[in-house]
Amino acid sequence: MQLLILAGLIFGASADIFSSMATMKSLVGAEKEIPSMINAYVEKEMERLNYLRKYASEVQRRNDNAMADGENSITHPINAFLLIKEMTTDWRKVVDVMMSNSADDFIRNVTHQRILKEFRYPAEEDLAGAAIGLLRLQDTYRLDTTDIANGKILHSKMRTVSLTANDCFEIGRAAYNDYDYYHTILWMQEAKDRVEKEDPPSASLEDILEFLAFALYKQGNLKRALQLTDELVRLAPDHPRARGNLKWYEDLLEDEGVRRVDMRRNIPQLSNPRHDGGLEHTERDIYEALCRHEVPVSTKALSRLYCYYKMDRPYLRLAPIKVEIMRLNPLAVLFHQIMSDEEARIIEMLAIPKLNRATVQNAMTGGLETASYRISKSAWLKPHEHEVVERFNKRLDMATNLEMETAEELQIQNYGVGGHYDPHFDCARKEEKNAFKELGTGNRIATILVYMTEPEIGGGTVFTEIKTSVACTKNAALFWYNLMRSGEVDMRSRHAACPVLTGVKWVTNKWIHERGQEWRRPCGLNQFDQERYVGDLVLILSLCVCLSSTDIYTSVAHMESLLDAEKDISKIIEDYIASETARLENLRKVSEEYQNRNEKAISEGLKTVTNPISAFLLINHLMTNWRRVEQLMKESEAEGFLRNVTLARHKNQLRYPTEEDLSGATIGLLRLQDTYRLDTTDIANGKIMQAKMTKPLTANDCYEIGRHAYTLEDYYHTILWMQEAKDRLRKENPPSASLADILEYLAFSLYKQGNLKRALQVTEQLYRLNPEHPHAKGNMKWYEDLLVEEGIKPSEHRRDFPPLQNRRPDDGLDDSERTIYEALCRNEVPVSTKATSQLYCYYKMDRPYLYLAPFKVQIMRFNPLVVLFIDVISDEEVEMIQLIAKPRLKRATVQNSRTGELETATYRISKSAWLRGTDHEVVDRINKRIELMTNLDQESSEELQIANYGVGGHYDPHFDFARSDEPKAFESLGTGNRIATALFYMTQPEIGGGTVFTELRTTVMPSKNNALFWYNLYRSGEGDLRTRHAACPVLVGLKWVANKWIHERKQEFRRPCALKLSVQERYVGDLGAPEPRNHPNISPF
């Protein structure tokens, strides 16, 4: 029977605690029994303190340059480029000269000899490929154009020659042919600078100027393009295109409103945005930063890594495999010295004759094809081809504990100039149904990648999702799982091969498939079970119950369950306490912290989670502090205790927050900060506008907020919160966070926001604090180099600091709409006295029933009509609807405008449930009431939707109706478009949560038991674009709403179509009768 290991209270199911107060509330008091659990465990486990210390071993550094002496002539990218250029461009010149006389026979003989020797000279495509490879290296490793042209490649010791103007011209021309005007400008300018110093010149200045001028124009530098074309005309008055181009640029400038006298003066700054490489900008930036080893790794993460000898097979007792864990969660390891130099030499020798351009699998067809994002050559070797290949396959079996019979053949790869492989997955995703179909062995469960050589610079393997870099280490093998133990794709396994800057890169890889692994890697009980080490057969059981995909953070209702969720555990704890006799001092302190926090949380009740700072602290406490406990308790007799807790929680269906929930709570807090213009220090002090103050944040709390902002590449908030953490840390004793970590995050964020001098200043502080810091000295040098590149002298690096630059990140909304939306949420948009003076209230009595029980109606807006029905839902009805909805709450969705399908979105953070009239008589009664309120038929309306908002819960500006370019929206309903919306406010938040109309500049604050109503369509059936609206984030308090979307079908006589677009209602149910302002008792029925 396998050992059952319990991996902690943090369960990895769908997260999102942060986005709903309903889920947050259930966390309050959820740990009231935990202190006694900890105290009981402390008594018994004192002797294990040494075992519980963190691993602090340093990873082995990779070997120095493994390049053979004779390879320098081709392994340096500039040398390789020059070699290919000599065999293409230079040879073409020889051909041109010879063809003018009797050289035909000579050229024919040369061609014949090449055929006999099966020798192929490089073609124009090879030159272009070498040039583009060089440009890829320039971008990835941020190489200066002049440095490259001078033969200088970072700290490479390989010698090369400087480029001529003609060499630079050829690189620029290759970029131009690839429509890459960014590099065209860089290299044509370098060619121009060099040709002016050459005697005789190696390139034509006329050609350089023409290419450069056109590239400048394409990058938006019209005046500069005109300037260079003027120079070209002066240089060559008879140039066939110069005068025509001159006239064309002048005409374009004139079209832009530039007067002719201004065309050659006041030249603006050069605009030269980088060429799009096919990757999303964010992923490209991460990929390249990882290749440059610029993404910081926390000391905390490194301290958990360790090395060990793998000896879990009889053979390995005598010849163990050295294993270095590179990453936990997900697991990635390095097998050291897995291959000998002699084996590598034989495999290379076998592969060289078979090398062909590497291919990728087409996701749709399953066929293999070449791709620009994978530049290398590969060969496949079968075990029967050589005993070394067969022996190595058996060794991989022992290393990975996976069956090799269904694995693919051994693939050998060699990378050339700028050789790389863009971010990709090795396994097939759900939509790639034909991938590996021909093999019949299932998906690729794991990958093992052997580094047969070690390039001097570059060529590493990087994982873009988990921001991890692994440098090439000769004869070592990198291994990771592509699939979860459940068989689902692990999206974190997305990886890439960095381009080789200098040196040779030979790798061999093995893709291992699912079939035959049933006993080697058993399926987990849930999709988040995963290995702690290679071959881990221990079944990892998370300590919290899977509630399918409930997303705790998105609903207050689900969070309420945690308040009393553990009442059944007391007996288990008492039994365990009786068996314990010793206590761990470290856990005793944690126990006291738990007790104090729980007593305070229970006494404050709901207030603990309705304040966003308190909500953040609660999630941070539950997740981070239990992780500390878990590390101390996951051995020996604690297993039985934890198993009992797990069973109790299964019974109560309880799920604890995860890292994703903490991240979500943080994002919600930052959204509130932006929307309501809250000061960082005020938030950290527990002050939120007029709300009651809460406990101040510690430096560690501020650091966590900044860290989560950093993971989202939100450097604006990272700076605000890391600076706050730094300020608070100075006043703490003992400190709650690491100043070194704060300074590193702060420095990098300052750099990303354009504050190079400040980044350097903070990094110097980091270096003074810890001279042995792994990144401080290198980062300091990097910032200094960047300042020099900007033309700042070293003597000025540390003085004359410009004002802090800290631009807020783009959140997907248009800037102007975001500004209006947030101003409306803050009630800062004035409403004219004239407009408000025309509004009035009335009793709606246009149905016989309403004579006895009329509706109170307040007109909030004319043109278009927006009204508020007062007291249209009772407290008892609200309580019943909440009771029915809570078990059904799920993450709220939006309708995809193209497919018509429902999906979650970051711009709508809440949980919702749908209630039918048949679910309860209260729901049926409200549906009938809506018909009386709106005079619209409810038969074709959607079900009543109940929504609950969490930390920073909101819904960005949107339309409720489908626009003309959304043909599939509501297609499945068959009831036409959404003609109107009724929105019931079932609660009233203390601050925030209003409904705003961004086009109308109108704000409606939530008022309990009232309902807001408006028409989404004109009476002609056209969408009314003025109804674009949004839900402001809840700052403090609870927000429950119920909404009803009413559709067009069956409204022909309830709201007849108008002949003109301008015809619209003056009041609800307007069929032409006088306004109820003066005639309150008119009924059209």
Q: What is the pLDDT of residue 434?
A: 77
More confident residue, 813 or 766: 766
Q: What is the pLDDT of residue 95?
A: 46
Instruction: Please indicate, yes or no, whether residues 76 and 47 belong to a single structural domain of this protein.
Output: no
Q: Is the pLDDT at 762 greater than 80, yes or no?
A: yes
Instruction: Please indicate, yes or no, whether residues 95 and 230 belong to a single structural domain of this protein.
Output: yes
Half-sphere exposure (Cβ direction) of 855: Cα atoms closer than 13 Å: 29
Does 1073 fall in a domain? no
Q: In a 10 Å sphere around its CB, with 0-12 CB exposed, 13-18 middle and 19+ buried, how is residue 697 labelled?
A: buried
Average pLDDT rounded to a whole number, residues 902-911 = 60
CB under 8 Å to 424, separation ≥6 — which residues?
360, 373, 374, 494, 495, 496
Q: CA-to-CA distance for 882 and 902, rounded, in angstroms?
A: 23
More confident residue, 835 or 269: 269
Does 805 fall in a domain? no
Find out whether the peptide bond into 353 is cis, omega within 30 degrees of 0.
no
* Helix or strand holding residue 324 (H, E): strand 321-327
Average pLDDT rounded to a whole number, residues 423-450 = 88
Instruction: Please indicate, yes or no, whether residues 646 and 673 belong to a single structural domain of this protein.
Output: yes
Q: How many CB atoms lie within 10 A of CB 707?
A: 21
Q: Is the pLDDT at 928 greater than 60, yes or no?
A: yes
* Structure letter (DSSP) for residue 623: I
Residue 105's alpha-carbon distances to 99, 112, 962, in angstroms, are 10, 10, 74
Does 909 fall in a domain? yes
Q: CA-to-CA distance for 14 and 542, rounded, in angstroms?
A: 13
More confident residue, 135 or 446: 446
Residue 810's pLDDT band, with cuts at 50, 70 and 90, is confident
Q: What domain range is 786 assigned to?
A: 724-796
Instruction: Please indicate, yes or no, whether residues 605 and 480 belong to a single structural domain of this protein.
Output: no
Q: Is the pLDDT at 348 greater than 60, yes or no?
A: yes
Does 1056 fall in a domain? no
Output the six-digit token pair for 292: 């440059």
More confident residue, 455 or 133: 455
> Which residues pair with residue 1047 across a beta bridge?
978
Instruction: Please indicate, yes or no, whether residues 523 and 547 belong to a single structural domain of this protein.
Output: no
Does 1036 fall in a domain? yes
Phi/psi region, residue 384 (left: phi>0; alpha: psi -120 to 50; beta: rest), is alpha
Q: Is the pLDDT at 58 greater than 50, yes or no?
A: no
Whether 22 contacts 889, CB under 8 Å: yes
Instruction: Please indicate, yes or no, whether residues 901 and 1035 belong to a single structural domain of this protein.
Output: yes
Pick from 90-104, 726-740, 807-821: least confident: 90-104
More confident residue, 625 or 271: 271
Average pLDDT rounded to a whole number, residues 543-564 = 38
Domain count, the chain: 5
Output the six-digit token pair for 944: 């009543």
Instruction: Please indicate, yes or no, whether residues 681 and 780 belong to a single structural domain of this protein.
Output: no
More confident residue, 435 or 743: 743
Half-sphere exposure (Cβ direction) of 1025: Cα atoms closer than 13 Å: 2
For the chain, what is the mean pLDDT? 78
> Which residues pair with residue 477 across a beta bridge?
335, 450
Q: What is the pLDDT of residue 25?
A: 44
Q: Is the pLDDT at 66 greater than 50, yes or no?
A: no
Q: What is the pLDDT of residue 326?
A: 93
Distance between terminal CA atoms of the chain?
Answer: 77
Domain ends where: 226, 241, 262?
262
Q: How many CB atoms lie within 10 A of CB 278?
A: 10
Q: What is the pLDDT of residue 763?
A: 96
Q: Please calculate the CA angle 671-673-677 and round it to the nearest 5 degrees.
A: 125
- The per-residue pLDDT for range 560-612, each reduced to its tens digit, is 443 344 444 444 444 443 443 343 455 566 667 667 766 666 666 655 444 44
Instruction: Please indicate, yes or no, whether residues 141 and 245 belong to a single structural domain of this protein.
Output: yes
CB under 8 Å to 527, separation ≥6 — which residues?
12, 484, 485, 486, 488
Q: Is the pLDDT at 72 greater than 50, yes or no?
A: no
Domain ends where: 202, 230, 262?
262
Q: What is the pLDDT of residue 422?
A: 83
Instruction: Please indicate, yes or no, whether residues 115 and 232 belong to a single structural domain of this protein.
Output: yes
Q: What is the pLDDT of residue 456?
A: 83
Average pLDDT rounded to a whole number, residues 619-640 = 51
* Helix or strand holding residue 1011 (H, E): strand 1011-1015
Residue 555's pLDDT band, with cuts at 50, 70 and 90, is very low
Average pLDDT rounded to a whole number, residues 274-301 = 81
Q: CA-to-CA distance for 295 and 28, rounded, in angstroms?
A: 36
Does 1075 fall in a domain? no
Does 477 fall in a domain? yes
Whether 158 contacts 458, CB under 8 Å: no
Instruction: Please indicate, yes or no, whether residues 247 and 207 belong to a single structural domain of this protein.
Output: yes
Q: What is the pLDDT of residue 531?
A: 83
Q: What is the DSSP string of 814-827?
A: -HHHHHHHHHHHTT
Q: What is the DSSP string of 370-438?
A: --TTEE-EEEEE-GGG-HHHHHHHHHHHHHH----TTSPPEEEEEE-TT-EEEEE-SS--TT-TTTTTT
**pTM for the full model?**
0.51
Q: CA-to-CA distance for 619 and 613, rounded, in angstroms?
A: 10
SS3 912: strand
Residue 436's pLDDT band, with cuts at 50, 70 and 90, is confident
Residue 265's alpha-carbon distances to 227, 262, 293, 971, 1077, in angstroms, are 9, 5, 43, 58, 66
Q: What is the pLDDT of residue 575?
A: 44
Average pLDDT rounded to a whole number, residues 744-758 = 95
Q: Which of the residue ranges 61-75, 491-505, 655-669 has the most confident prediction, judged by mean pLDDT?
A: 491-505
Q: What is the pLDDT of residue 686?
A: 82
| Domain CATH for 91 | 1.25.40.10
Instruction: Please indicate, yes or no, whether residues 225 and 91 belong to a single structural domain of this protein.
Output: yes
Q: What is the pLDDT of residue 360?
A: 53
Instruction: Please indicate, yes or no, whether residues 599 and 635 belong to a single structural domain of this protein.
Output: yes
Q: What is the pLDDT of residue 561?
A: 42
Does 290 fall in a domain? no
| Domain CATH for 1028 | 2.60.120.620
